[in-house]
Structure 1
Amino acid sequence: MDNTNQKKALINSEIALFLRGLIIGKVLTLIVIGGLLWWLLKPNLLSRSSVDSSNQSSNAISSKTPPSTGGSTFQTVADIPNASFNYGGSTAWASIRQLVDSQIQSDRPELQLRYVDPVNGSPGSSSGIRMLLDGKLDFAQSSRPLTDEEQAIAKERGFTLEERPVGKDGIAVVVNPSLKVSGLTVDQLQQIYLGKITNWNQIGGPNLLITPLSQRPEDADTVIFSSNSELKGQALGSNVQYVYSTTEAVRQLSKTPGGVYYASARSVVFQCSVKALPLGRTSGQLILPYRVPMVSPEQCPRQRNQINTQAIKDGSYPIIANLSVIIKQNKGREQQIGDAYAELLSTDQGQKAIQQAGFVGVR
């Protein structure tokens, strides 16, 4: 009995030793295999770690490095006065005030610009220049040239006025969409507003009385006689109907079959309820104020006509207005802000923003 028990104990001991050896062998095998795999993959792991580290470093650098803009910007203009200033003038500048001036004040918060409407009369180039002469504005925005009278008033008050061009705009002529007329020459347009051409059949259109609409000369935002010195200062025809603004003129044209109006191309070419006419120095050189193909009133406002900026840029369009900053040359704060504002708009950033506002830059 004792011998039997001893044999069983011996067998159990051998089995335990065998199992222990088997387990140890498997563990050693796994260690060897793992070590071999680590040795084989080590170069890839190190390379990957290096790339990840390089990418993280690169991302950190790029996040701290501002994008390069190139060219002159609002930030590069020196001697910007740190104060609040009043300005105003041409309604043609509305999109510049909305787009460009807001960018200026974002980039140069030390400069605060406050647009001021005239107390009497309609806003425009003329009222803005009057307010500048009267000391109610620090500088003005104009879409027409200064007059001899305005320069004379400035001289009487001990200073001069400078007009600094920063952009260009075309003067577009618009009519009721139903009017069938191929276009106008500059001379025909002028004769219409002098009351010498009164029916559309005189210039190849239907037998329909012409109803010219215009802002009053003293409030005019744009002019059509600046290229003809003989016509400057002449009274408009008695049939001219005066309007307060371009918005009012467009509204009237939409219900006046024989109506006609002229204004900044930026103000009227996009409108759905009127039609812009080709304009030329001669009847054989009519230039479209919009890009072809023309968008019909039925397609508007889903699509809108776009300004023929190329014709304005190359000078082929017959009536072009300079967008100018009117600066009071008095060696005071008004001259300082006028010079600074004109310089801001003349930077590469300013010229690009003026183009985005729908105009043509001066360079």
Structure 2
Amino acid sequence: MDNTNQKKALINGEIALFLRGLIIGKVLTLMVIGGLLWWLLKPNLLSRNSIDSSSNQSLKTVSNTGSSSFQTIADVPTASFNYGGSTAWASIRQLVDSQIQSDRPELKLHYVDPVNASPGSSSGIRMLLDGKLDFAQSSRPLTDEEQAMAKARGFTLEQRQVGMDAIAVVVNPSLKVSGLTVDQLHQIYLGRITNWNQVGGPNLPITPLSQRPEDADTVIFSTNSDLKGQVLSSNVQYVYSTTEAVRQLSKIPGGVYYGSARSVVPQCSVKALPLGSTSGQLIPPYREPMVSPEQCPRQRNQLNTQAVKNGSYPIIANLFVIIKQNKGREQQIGNAYTNLLLTDQGQRAIEQAGFVGVH
């Protein structure tokens, strides 16, 4: 009997040891499997956490740096309006204004050409004064005479800057001259420099081209300059527009013209000259390296926006919206149009059109 009990106890002990080993083995197996799964899944979990963190950061960035758009501007009138002015604004009218009217279909803008004058800043401001436009686009500041005319008619004019351009000097591509100083440019148009050999070029008479002062789109004589109001030389040949000037320059070896850099720098049939305050500081109006006429139109020269932004280029043309201050519909649309251009979306579009924004 004792032997039987001893055998049973021995068997029960072996069974207990077997079961304990089996349990421990399963636990160890589960731990190994669990560890293996965690090791395999760890990169995905870390990646998921990284993506989630990045997404959250992106959302925070967007919310903290929200930009203004055409849709954010209030008080945009629902009506049809006439506007016009500077030919330098052509790319803005084509690119930016079309975007505005797409996003704000309640606003309808109609560009109006002058009837008996060449299109430009001056003619646009005159048309605004005469009540033929609701607002005007200008590549130059208002003159004292224009402000006096407005006052005589019972209102004032306000100019609000929305962008920047440069005034570029262009010549026939065959002309060999390194550049001009601003003073030399002035002396050419005043008739005191008449041959290119006086400014380091060939022995070739200078033929200066210009729009008429009363129709000028841009000006080279600053409003606070001692040369303001000077009569241009009798050698100056007047042209209707920048397009005509560019066409003429391709035929005149000694010709020269000044105009909106955005308009003339990309042209294939003319060459833009570096310009400077002194002969040792000549700054090109185009981005270097210069694209040769042979490479054009596959490639075109572009405005030297960096020189315009940092002020190193000597003649800057500010872009203004000219607004009639009469507390009427003209003032409302002028303010609304300006505010649209000054949005982040508007400023980006102005730079896409080839100009420099103001912020």
TM-score normalised per structure 2 = 0.81
The SS at the match of 1:152 is helix
Three-state SS of the structure 1 residue aligned to 2:246 is: helix
In 1, Cα distance between equivalents of 2:258 and 2:335: 31
SS in 2 for 1:286: coil
Matched residue pairs, number? 297
For residue 174 of structure 1, give the secondary structure of its aligned residue in structure 2. strand
What letter is aligned with 2:238?
Answer: Y
Contact kept in structure 1, 2:205 and 2:254, CA below 8 Å: yes
- C-alpha distance in structure 1 between counterparts of 2:263 and 2:225, whole Å: 26
* Residue 171 of structure 1, aligned match among 162, 167, 176: 167
> 2:137 and 2:223 mapped to 1: Cα distance?
20
Aligned partner of 1:270 among 266, 282, 286: 266
Matched residues in 2 for 1:173 and 1:70: separation?
40
Instruction: State which of 231, 238, 244 in structure 2 corresponds to 1:235.
Output: 231
Take 1:80 and 1:313, find their aligned partners in 2: how far apart are those partners? 30
Please list the CA deviations of residues 262-316 of structure 1 after superposition, one character each: whole Å capped at 9, or x if unmatched. Answer: 0000111100110000000111110011111111111111111111111001111
Cα displacement (A) at 1:227: 5.7
Distance in 1 (CA, whole Å) between partners of 2:241 and 2:211 is 7
Question: Match of 2:33?
Answer: none
Which of 112, 135, 140 in structure 2 is aligned with 1:139? 135
Q: Does 1:90 align with 2:90?
A: no
| Alpha-carbon separation, structure 2, partners of 1:236 and 1:268 | 22
Matched residue, 2:8: none
Matched, 1:222 2:218: yes
Q: Are 2:181 and 1:206 aligned?
A: no
**Counterpart residue type for residue 333 of structure 1:** R
1:252 to 240, 248, 251: 248
1:58-69 superposed matches below 5 A: none
- In 2, Cα distance between equivalents of 1:195 and 1:88: 33
Which of the numbers 279, 295, 307 marks the counterpart of 2:291?
295
Distance 1:155 1:287 in 2: 40
Which deviates the most, 121-130 or 299-308?
A: 299-308
User: Mind listing any 5+ residue stretches in structure 2 that lack a counterpart?
Assistant: 1-61
How far apart, in 2, do the equivalents of 1:201 and 1:240 lie? 18
**1:227 and 1:111 mapped to 2: Cα distance?**
35
SS of the aligned residue for 2:82 comes to strand
The yes-or-no answer on 1:312 pairing with 2:308 is yes
Task: Return the offset for 1:228.
Answer: 5.0
Query: Do residues 155 (structure 1) and 156 (structure 2) align?
Result: no
Q: How big is each residue's C-alpha offset from its partner over 1:175-221, in whole Å with a ceiling of 9 and x where there is no partner?
A: 00111111000110011011111111111111110000000000000
Report Cα offsets for 1:209-242 as digits up to 9, x if no partner. 0000000000000000016521111110000000
Which residue pairs with 2:335 in the alignment? 339
Of residues 64, 71, 81 in structure 1, which corresponds to 2:67?
Answer: 71
Q: Which amino acid aligns with 1:84?
A: S
> Structure 1: which amino acid aligns with 2:340?
L
2:64 maps to 1:104: no
Rounded to whole Å, the distance in 2 between the matches of 1:326 and 1:179 is 38
What's the TM-score once normalised by structure 1's chain length? Answer: 0.81
Aligned partners of 1:118, 1:138: CA distance in 2, in Å? 14
AA partner of residue 305 (structure 1): N
Counterpart CA distance in 2 for 1:214 and 1:307 is 21
Q: Cα distance, 1:70 vs. partner?
A: 3.2
* Structure with larger Rg: 1
Q: Which residue of 1 aligns with 2:35?
A: none
Give the drift of 1:113. Answer: 0.4
Q: Where does residue 278 of structure 2 map in the other structure?
A: 282
Letter in 2 for 1:299: Q
- CA RMSD after TM alignment: 1.2
Give, as a single letter, the amino acid of the residue that structure 2 aligns with 1:322: N
SS at match of 1:290: coil
Give distance in 1, aligned partners of 2:242 and 2:213: 14
- CA distance in structure 2 between the aligned counterparts of 1:341 and 1:298, rounded to whole angstroms: 40
Q: Is the 8 A contact 2:324 2:331 kept in 1?
A: yes
1:355 and 2:351 are equivalent in the alignment: yes
